[in-house]
Amino acid sequence: MEILASFWNLVPVTVVQGLLFGLVALGVMIPFRLLAFPDLTSEGSFPLGGCLCAVLIVAGMHPLPATLAALAAGMLAGLATAFIHLRLRINTLLAGILVMTILYSVNLRILGKANVALLDTESLLSWIAPAAVVNVNAQIALFAVLVLAVLAALRWLLGTEVGLSLRAVGANASLAPALAINPWTYVLAGVALANGLSALAGAVAVQLQGFADVHMGFGVLINGLAALIIGETLIGRHSVTRQLAAPVLGSVVYYQIVSVGLSLGLKPADLKLATGLFVLVTLALPALRRAAEPERLRE
């Protein structure tokens, strides 16, 4: 009963985290699934959005334009990764690692120190719904509206000619020019959009927790990948709607799994290890199944 009570007390907080980091999972899914462009930049664009938003708010800027500036900065980071890959012919993963590494110094330069506290400053939460500053249920409602708005916008976009062209580039970039589609345009736009969402999540996270830290992006990529895998396992990705909903649903479920682990006594320091092993096993399962099939056929 004590374990159950501990889990139940953690649920509201982890639902908030799940909804917020659902944006990061979307930022992982868009290049990975829609563009066939494995991208690691999210681990740098998430803290970039948070650090820039924090500095602007501390400097006196209203939280809304500060958040939009963070989103734009994340999009620029995504553009940099896509451009390095397209122009310099550098592997997508290596391009993401390079930009992510560069962004660490950029974030440190933006903050001016390792972390910044947002003391006595206005945030999106206090501006939109003051009750959300201290009320977890209000935070759940606010973030649910934000995530649903993002999902609705993405669903509409992917149903347009632009969205169809983006998906066509991801399905077969070599064939795209024959359809009068410029792959560069859609790769640049898609990776920029994905990292803009990650930076938006970072900006909102900073305003929720009340401080920005240059290391706040550590592990968000593996969390987003775990959320994507869980979501696709639960509802699949056989339609555009399911493909978009899977990362968000998976993020919420993932953080409930984290709650279970903490309730059972798992130390917070071990969560990254558990998450990494989970993703490793999940990614290895198809290969293990294929390896087992010849054995069954021989029998």
Three-state secondary structure string covering 1-34: CHHHHHHHHHHHHHHHHHHHHHHHHHHHHHHHHH
Q: Which of 83, 89, 11 is nearest to 41 (CA)?
A: 83
Give phi and psi for 118, each to the nearest 5.
Answer: -100, 80
Q: Which of 285, 290, 291, 233 is nearest to 257 (CA)?
A: 233
295 — pLDDT class (breaks 50, 70, 90): low
Give phi and psi for 213, each to the nearest 5.
Answer: -135, 140
Instruction: Give the H or E element holding residue 116.
Output: strand 115-117
Judged against a pLDDT cut of 70, whether residue 1 lies above it is answered with no
Pick from 99-113, 248-262, 285-299: least confident: 285-299
Q: What is the spatial distance between Cα 299 and Cα 294, in angstroms, rounded to a whole number?
A: 9
Quick one: pLDDT at residue 264?
Answer: 76
SS3 36: coil
Q: Which structure tokens are listed for 42?
A: 């999210």
Judged against a pLDDT cut of 90, whether residue 199 lies above it is answered with yes
CATH 1.10.3470 is right for the domain spanning 2-264: yes
Compute the Cα dihedral for 189, 193, 199, 200 and give only its sign: positive
Compute the Cα dihedral for 241, 252, 283, 44 and give only its sign: positive
Q: For 81-109, what is the mean pLDDT?
A: 94
Q: What is the spatial distance between Cα 47 and Cα 110, in angstroms, rounded to a whole number?
A: 11
Buried b (16+ CB within 10 A) or exposed e, 104-143: bebbeebbeeeebebeebbbbbeeeeeebeeeeebbbebb
Q: For 174-187, what is the mean pLDDT?
A: 87
The string of pLDDT tens digits covering residues 29-63 is 999 999 989 899 999 999 999 999 999 999 999 99
The string of pLDDT tens digits covering residues 107-134 is 999 998 888 998 888 899 889 888 888 8
The DSSP string of 208-245 is HHTEEETTTTTTHHHHHHHHHHHHHHHH-SSSHHHHHH
Judged against a pLDDT cut of 80, whether residue 168 lies above it is answered with yes
8 Å CB contact between 96 and 80: no
- DSSP letter for 113, please: S
Which of residues 277 and 61 earns the better pLDDT score? 61
Quick one: pLDDT at residue 132?
Answer: 83
Quick one: pLDDT at residue 271?
Answer: 76
Q: Which residue matches tokens 């992510």?
A: 100
The string of pLDDT tens digits covering residues 218-227 is 889 888 988 9
Compute the Cα dihedral for 114, 117, 123, 125 and give only its sign: positive
Q: Which structure tokens are listed for 59?
A: 């400097």
Judged against a pLDDT cut of 70, whether residue 236 lies above it is answered with yes
Q: What is the mean pLDDT of the chain?
A: 89
Q: Which of 69, 247, 36 is nearest to 77 (CA)?
A: 69
